[in-house]
Structure 1
Amino acid sequence: MNIPYGIRDIEVFIRVIDSGSFKEAAAFLNVTQSALTQRLQKLEDAVGAKLIDRTTRSIALTAVGRAFLPAARRMLNQFEQAYNDIRDVIDVAGGRVTISSLISVATYVLPDVIGRFAEDHPNVGIRVIDVSEQEIMSYVRRGEAEFAIDMRTDDIEEGLVTTPLMEDGFVLACRDDHPHADGGTVDAGELSGMPLMILGARSGTSRVLQAHLTNRATSAKWLYEVQHLSTMVGFLEAGMGVGIIPRMVMRGVASRRLVSRPLHGPSLSRTLELVERRGATLSPAAEQLKQMILAEFTELAKAA
């Protein structure tokens, strides 16, 4: 559709009516009266009718002008709102950023990072989609999340690119008064005699652990099964068994009742990574949040 007038022409029409004077409207818009008159004439030509009756002493809306004025105000308001929304995104002053994340990362890492980001950008909305490993990348692929924090898998979906964040090792955790709280390094073979708590089979973390235990030929059997690490932490704090959890989670737990013991044998860890759409440009706000997350994981990796 070829619209024969612009938003500036609409603004001229509204300003003339609101000020009641061509002279005042021209001064407000910083244009000459002749330029103002030309723009109004352009709008009237496009509409196909006269909008304003002008005499030497006054101006008045025509019947068509009265009918057109409410629509003109809506168009100008919508344009100004759209312009401000775009500026908010460009200037990192407002807008919204959506990311998808592992639940454990969303629980134990992101609150501090997003809290610091919010101090500098209080008007930027942050949406965190904390879901299971099977769902995380799909949000990025569909464009519903600007980036994601996931656990590395053997196959990366086409069209996505990853940035390694850190190797997150596993430890044996339990409450400080649990019979298995004391001692040094734990060998995989010792797990067979412990009241072990595991994550459900849908968990990527669970698959890493099961592969490790299988390779170590241990006969460890689980006593409790939960679906999320945050749930496991709650059970462990209640003194119910022992669990193998990521070191990152252990550092993030606020409770002082949990203790951990290192695991003996080949390196047991999960690789965390940041996932983006290949070739996609992040919004300025998302890019800044991404850089803060990368910096946070750099520090976490140093402390590991």
Structure 2
Amino acid sequence: MINFWLIRHLWLFLAVAEERNFSRAAKRLGMSQPPLTEQIQALESSLRVQLFIRSRRGAQLTAAGAAILPAVKKFAEQLERLELAVLEAVAGQAGMLTIGAITPAMIDLLPPLIDRFKRDHPLITVSVKEIDSVDAVPALEAGDIDMAFARLEGNLGKHISSLPLAEDRLAVALPTHHAFAHEEAIDLSALSDQAFVMASRDVSPVYFDYLVGKCQASGFSPRVIHQVRSVASQVAFVSCGQGVALIPQTMNKLAPANVVIRPLSPEVKVVTTAMVWHSERANPLVQAMVSQVQEG
């Protein structure tokens, strides 16, 4: 039996946890503060644990509250997906495809694919959520998303299939005063003594390891002094004199006046976006998207 009482109270807990203030949470929920406080206290009594420490500064999570917050957030996301699916079903929609995508794919690659898919499947709802590349495979395995568009390549697991969609030539971002700034192209081995600003391994481990492997194949291990979460951040750190960065060449549009982008020679290609899905889960919508992409 569904415990609707618990569902409502977990929803209230999440609002207070995110706002860190009972008054703001009550306003967000469209209710007065005293009933909210009472219901949180009822939840704490039911769970037999204190979830918040109340003070003049607001409401801070206890260790127990912080421990259950990730699970409650995931539960809330699943409830929202369920609610949307029910509403679409009532409205006569035929299904929903949930896509996880990295930000660059959401900007350039994904919009035309979704437009074409929805033209061919007008009764399908496409839901997009932002993810990091490192989250793609775990989210697919957990069933949180149906497919991913991320910076991934190679062997991703026994039941994970991938199709490269976009690749680019690897380049190096340099300060304009750098000794190599006036070169037309740069040999990767020439960067052996440089300090590197790299895309974080926490965000995209496959991409990070690929770049490190390329450096090692050129005779050196890169001296990484900063790991950041985006290409834009890499370029920004180079602009601040924090080192050099290996980035896709088409990202030269991000370069400010004091940064130059030079291609590597010999040429090195990198996959910037791949379509990834769980091959063991029968999902006709996923197969329809894969077929659309393969057909061009």
Aligned to 1:277: 278
- For 1:224, give the aligned amino acid: H
Structure 2 CA distance for aligned equivalents of residues 255 and 111 of structure 1: 25
Aligned to 2:136: 136
Instruction: Say whether residues 1:150 and 2:150 are aligned partners.
Output: yes
Pair 236,289 (structure 1): closer, same or farther in 2 beyond 3 Å: farther
Query: 1:127, CA displacement in angstroms?
Result: 2.1
Query: 1:168, CA displacement in angstroms?
Result: 3.2
SS at match of 1:196: strand
Structure 2 CA distance for aligned equivalents of residues 211 and 105 of structure 1: 25
Pair 229,204 (structure 1): closer, same or farther in 2 beyond 3 Å: farther
Q: Decide whether the 8 Å contact of 1:212 with 1:268 is kept in 2.
A: no
Structure 2 CA distance for aligned equivalents of residues 156 and 223 of structure 1: 28
Structure 2 CA distance for aligned equivalents of residues 130 and 199 of structure 1: 15
Q: Decide whether the 8 Å contact of 1:172 with 1:244 is kept in 2.
A: yes
Q: Decide whether the 8 Å contact of 1:195 with 1:241 is kept in 2.
A: yes
Structure 2 CA distance for aligned equivalents of residues 173 and 220 of structure 1: 15
Aligned to 1:190: 190
Pair 107,219 (structure 1): closer, same or farther in 2 beyond 3 Å: same
Structure 1 CA distance for aligned equivalents of residues 174 and 236 of structure 2: 10
Q: Decide whether the 8 Å contact of 1:189 with 1:220 is kept in 2.
A: no
- The runs of 5 or more residues in structure 1 that have no matched partner are 1-79, 91-95, 299-304
Structure 1 CA distance for aligned equivalents of residues 235 and 287 of structure 2: 32
Query: 1:171, CA displacement in angstroms?
Result: 0.9
Structure 2 CA distance for aligned equivalents of residues 238 and 117 of structure 1: 42
Aligned to 1:45: none
Structure 2 CA distance for aligned equivalents of residues 268 and 82 of structure 1: 42
Query: 1:223, CA displacement in angstroms?
Result: 3.8
Aligned to 2:207: 205
- For 1:185, give the aligned amino acid: A
Structure 2-normalised TM-score? 0.53
- For 2:158, give the aligned amino acid: E
Aligned to 1:262: 263
Is 234-243 or 181-190 further displaced after alignment?
A: 234-243
- For 1:156, give the aligned amino acid: L
Per-residue CA deviations over 1:201-257 (Å, capped at 9, x if unaligned) read 433222111111111113642343324334213323555432101235x16x45564
Aligned to 1:244: 246
Say how many residue pairs are matched.
205
- For 1:280, give the aligned amino acid: A
Pair 125,154 (structure 1): closer, same or farther in 2 beyond 3 Å: closer
Aligned alpha-carbon RMSD (Å)? 3.9
Structure 2 CA distance for aligned equivalents of residues 81 and 103 of structure 1: 28
Instruction: Say whether residues 1:84 and 2:90 are aligned partners.
Output: yes
Matches within 5 A, 1:88-167: 88-89=93-94, 96-106=96-106, 109-110=109-110, 124=125, 126-133=127-134, 135-167=135-167
Per-residue CA deviations over 1:101-147 (Å, capped at 9, x if unaligned) read 345434554467668889998x95532231232x2112222322121
Query: 1:192, CA displacement in angstroms?
Result: 2.9
SS at match of 1:210: helix
Instruction: Say whether residues 1:222 and 2:228 are aligned partners.
Output: no
- The runs of 5 or more residues in structure 2 that have no matched partner are 1-85
Structure 1 CA distance for aligned equivalents of residues 229 and 87 of structure 2: 44
Pair 245,136 (structure 1): closer, same or farther in 2 beyond 3 Å: same
Structure 1-normalised TM-score? 0.52
Query: 1:287, CA displacement in angstroms?
Result: 6.9
Q: Decide whether the 8 Å contact of 2:152 with 2:206 is kept in 1.
A: no
Q: Decide whether the 8 Å contact of 2:99 with 2:126 is kept in 1.
A: no
Pair 136,229 (structure 1): closer, same or farther in 2 beyond 3 Å: same
Q: Decide whether the 8 Å contact of 1:178 with 1:239 is kept in 2.
A: no
Per-residue CA deviations over 1:178-201 (Å, capped at 9, x if unaligned) read 424321111122213434322334
